[in-house]
Amino acid sequence: MNYGKFERIILKGHPVFTERWVQDRIAEDPTILHLGNVIVKDKERMQPRAGRLDLLLQDADEGRRYEVEIQLGNTDESHIIRTIEYWDVEKKRYPQYEHTAVIVAEDITSRFLNVISLFNGAMPLVAIQMQAFRAGDQVGLIFTKVLDQVSRGLVDEDEELHEATDRSYWVERSSQEMVGMADKLLEVAKKLDQSLELKYNKFYIGLAQNGAPNNFAIFRPKKNFFRFEPRLTRSEATQEQLESAGLDVMDYDERWGRYRIRLTSDDLKKHLGVLERVIADAYKEAEG
């Protein structure tokens, strides 16, 4: 392997390597932005009274879209505002998807990075710095995330001691039968680890492993049904497995990364095999 010297190219004002050129390179292979397995949904997408969105990307496996704005040179106020505006328009037009705003610029200064970070606490936003390099007659682009969307803490990371309850609290809130379903699912989980036990909290019944929270699955007993929420990466295979079994699958909880499944006592008996596989998958994913 030979050592080669790379020359940095400043794209802003370059006669050949324009913003459209960058846009086309990303469109050819959108995975270079490091946003996952994404595909191009649209280019130069018209926005009502708001100009054109450079790129609209969509995750090939999940229901998430990325509103991407490209700027050569330093990012500025108008670039940030335009990116947020396009994100908001697309989010309102297509609420069935999760949306993330993406700012791409040659230079994201510390000042604007601080401003963008403030927005990131209230909306999903990614900032990517791009650099162009030449080696001989070849030109390449390097994209580096300088700000990723905020990853919210998991439920067990925000538990406080005074929020702990007991079994009687949940029996009174739901019923003995519904709380008994948590016992049965615990029996399934204990096949994976005998140290697992139920942990009664104010808003859900979780799991503890050797006394420490390990909520790869949580339970919410209600008066007339039982909600089972395994923490699993969303996938078409899992969705199909659950739906083909005839389970009542509610909307996926994007914030906490959980499937939400409404169960009755009959469902637990009828679909125990499927639920065992789901619990095993969630446990394996939690263990890494």
Residue 120: per-residue pLDDT: 64
Two tokens, residue 245: 């079994």
Instruction: In whole angstroms, give the CA distance from residue 164 to residue 199.
Output: 8
If you average pLDDT over each of 72-76, 131-135, 159-163, which comes out highest?
131-135
Mean pLDDT (whole number) for 31-42:
88
pLDDT band (50, 70, 90) for residue 46: confident
Mean pLDDT (whole number) for 116-123:
71
Mean pLDDT (whole number) for 49-64:
81
Same fold, 7-147 and 155-287: no
Mean pLDDT (whole number) for 240-250:
91
What are the residue ranges spanned by the domains of the chain?
A: 7-147, 155-287
Place of tokens 């969105």: 53
Two tokens, residue 176: 């003995």
Of the chain, the percentage scoring pLDDT greater than 70 comes to 92
Amino acid at 2: N
Instruction: List alpha helices for the chain, DSSP H.
Output: 19-28, 77-93, 110-120, 167-173, 176-190, 236-244, 265-270, 272-287
Instruction: In whole angstroms, give the CA distance from residue 2 to residue 45.
Output: 43
Residue 123: per-residue pLDDT: 81
203-241 pLDDT tens trace:
899 999 988 899 999 999 998 899 999 999 989 899 999
Residue 59: per-residue pLDDT: 84
More confident residue, 182 or 145: 182
| Closest by Cα among 232, 35, 42 to 125 | 35
Place of tokens 């009502």: 48
More confident residue, 117 or 102: 102
Instruction: In whole angstroms, give the CA distance from residue 60 to residue 63.
Output: 8
Instruction: In whole angstroms, give the CA distance from residue 93 to residue 128.
Output: 25
Two tokens, residue 77: 């106020």
DSSP β-ladder status, 125-135 and 138-147? antiparallel
Instruction: In whole angstroms, give the CA distance from residue 20 to residue 284.
Output: 44
Please report how many Cα atoms fall inside a 13 Å half-sphere around the Cα of residue 132, on the Cβ side.
Answer: 20
Domain 155-287 fold is Aspartate Aminotransferase, domain 1 (3.90.1150)
Instruction: In whole angstroms, give the CA distance from residue 277 to residue 241.
Output: 10
Residue 149: per-residue pLDDT: 63
Q: Quick check: 61 pLDDT over 80?
A: no
Domain 7-147 fold is Trna Endonuclease; Chain: A, domain 1 (3.40.1350)
160-184 pLDDT tens trace:
444 568 999 999 999 999 999 999 9
Q: Quick check: 48 pLDDT over 50?
A: yes
More confident residue, 154 or 84: 84
Q: What is the pTM of this model?
A: 0.53
